[in-house]
Amino acid sequence: MDNRFDTFTSSILELSRIVQKVKDYEMKKLGLKGAHAMVLYQLGKAPEGLSAVQLTDRCREDKAAISRALSQLITKGLVRKTAPASGRSYRTPFFLTEAGAKVVEQLNGRIEAIFAKGGSLLDAHQRAAFYEGLDLVVRGAEQCMAESCAEGTC
What are the tens digits of pLDDT across the range 52-101?
Answer: 999 999 999 999 999 999 999 999 999 999 876 566 666 899 999 999 99
Q: Is the same domain home to 26 and 88?
A: yes
Q: Is the same domain home to 116 and 126?
A: no
Q: Is the same domain home to 82 and 143?
A: no
Q: Is the same domain home to 34 and 76?
A: yes
Which residues sit opposite 94 in a β-bridge?
50, 81
Instruction: Give the pLDDT confidence of 9-64 residue by residue, as tens digits.
Output: 999 999 899 889 988 998 998 899 988 999 999 999 999 999 999 999 999 999 99
pLDDT at 135 over 60: yes
Q: Which residues contact 90 (CB under 8 A, 6 or more apart)?
A: 51, 52, 53
Longest pairwise C-alpha distance within the chain: 58
**pLDDT category, 111, cuts 50, 70, 90?**
confident
pLDDT at 153: 77
The CA distance from 127 to 145, in Å, is 27
CATH number where 19 lies:
1.10.10.10
List the domain range (segments joined by +) for residue 78.
4-121
Q: Is the same domain home to 35 and 81?
A: yes
